[in-house]
A and B are shown apart, each in its own frame.
Chain A
Amino acid sequence: MEQVLSVINNYLSLLFVLLCLGLILFYFLSDHNRPKISLRDIQAFRHIRREVDLAVEAGKRLHISLGRGNINGLQGGAAFIGLTILDRCARASSNSDRPPMTTSGDGVLNILSQDTLQSTYHSLGTEQRYDPLNARLTGLNPMAYAAGSMPTIHDEHVSANFFAGHLGTEIALLTEAGERSRSLTVAGTDSIHAQAVLYATSDEPLLGEELYAAGAYLGAGPAHLASLRMQDILRWVLVVAIILGAIIKLSGILP
């Protein structure tokens, strides 16, 4: 019986993934001919775009913190969003005197951030701007990562910090460092505890799925817009399913 349930569970999961993929492909193909899709205003992304422009004008640096999520696990999802933000920031500040700097707390993430910077500069034809030491591994456990990243915020003429990745409550130390150096902090993470801390400490917190909309809001391409629409639809499907489940449970149909 358990084996049958496990097989059904596997097939349902596969169906869910295929449904997600189908919706992304559908919107990716159908939205190609649409002129522009309007997105709900999220202040944090408006501020990111403004701060990138200001940093270029003021000759200051952007700091992108990718957290310490291992990409072999679930925590990698948020880190990949951080890499998308890094790519968009590197492109937008390509004519700045000071290229963006990243900090991470995982070896693989550090290499991926170096790779992202290198391929972005390569696609812009400005390979000479690439410096592998602008993508730094600062610590491998929460407190070491926070302690190692704080000097970057203080010493590198940073005008804005974007925290996007798996970070725990230690993020409060980093947002405090940003506050002290009078730089803007925009932060999103997949950790629920850290999101509560971010609400209290960050200038612009990204809560829940807002972080995962970063690519769509920062112009990373139509696939990001399509996946955002997929998330919106499935969120409503889940909301309806939860409410229906609650009603069925309350009415006594389910034990």
Chain B
Amino acid sequence: MKKILPTSNAIIAIISGLLVLLGYFFPGVFGNIQSVLIGWAIILAAFALLLGIFNLAMVHWKKAGTDGPSSIYSIVLLISLIITIIAVSISGPTGSLSLWIFNTFQVPVEISLLAVLAVVLVFAAARLLTRRPKWYTVLFLITVLVVLLGSVPLFFLGEVAPLVALRGWLTQVPAVAGARGLLLGVALGTVATGLRILMGVDRPYGG
């Protein structure tokens, strides 16, 4: 049984993957079966989300029982999780209580983290010269500076036309060219990864 299960898992995964892929090329023939399989995947993903939340609760339940200084955070998380589940169950996902929780706690915390992110990025840029003292690091930092200065009006000067023009050229020509090059590499890598899974070489499903 232990040997049969991985093989059958792989066969099911490969056939399902092939049918979904063929559905994109021949929608008339395989479109229906593709929709059915994707529908099943969405339902399974919803259950996986529930299992993930259970995993999150279990991790923090274990941490809450330890003497470490961070156990208090785990207790807060567990209490918040229970309160949120009860509140959303009573008022519904778009109810006033759910929206109050979202707008009062989640949104401000996320915005605060975004602000921290901005500071982190400034410090990272400052540290970059010591981390990678190369000519292209200098070029990277000069480009960042030019784009930033070209994006906002400067004190006493307002918008500096050459800077704005340079910023426009940098963001529309070299940046777009570089990004497209990177995206082509990412696309080829994604195709290769997908094909390895379809061939049954990579089996992340325990096959």
Interfacial residues, chain A to chain B (CB-CB below 8 A):
10-11, 13-14, 17, 20-21, 24, 70, 72, 74, 77-78, 80-81, 83-84, 106-108, 110-112, 115-116, 118-119, 132-133, 135-138, 140-141, 143-144, 146-148, 151, 155, 169-170, 172-173, 175-176, 190, 192, 195, 197, 199-201, 203, 207-209, 211-213, 215, 220-221, 223-224, 227-228, 230-231, 234-235, 238
Contact = CB atoms under 8 A, between A and B. Distances in A.
Contacts of B188: 209, 212, 231, 234-235, 238
Nearest to B125: A200
26 contacts: A10-B25, A17-B195, A72-B45, A74-B190, A81-B193, A107-B51, A108-B45, A110-B48, A111-B51, A118-B206, A135-B55, A136-B55, A137-B52, A137-B55, A140-B49, A143-B109, A147-B113, A151-B70, A155-B68, A172-B117, A173-B116, A200-B125, A212-B189, A223-B199, A227-B192, A235-B188
Contact of A110 (B21, B24, B55): B55
B113 A209 contact: no
B67 interface: no
Nearest to B132: A199
B38 interface: yes
B184 A143 contact: no
Contacts of A148: 56
Interface in B139-163: 140
Contacts of B193: 77, 80-81, 212, 227
B81 interface: no
Interface of B: 6, 21, 24-27, 38, 41-42, 44-53, 55-56, 58-59, 62, 68, 70, 73, 109-110, 113-114, 116-117, 120-121, 123-125, 128, 131, 140, 179, 181-186, 188-197, 199, 201-207
Contact of A201 (B124, B191, B203): B124
Nearest to A155: B70
Q: Most chain-B CB neighbours within 10 Å: which of A24, A133, A195, A208?
A: A208
A173 B52 contact: no
Q: Is the interface of B mostly helix, strand, loop or mixed?
A: helix
A155 B60 CA distance: 13
A21 B195 contact: yes
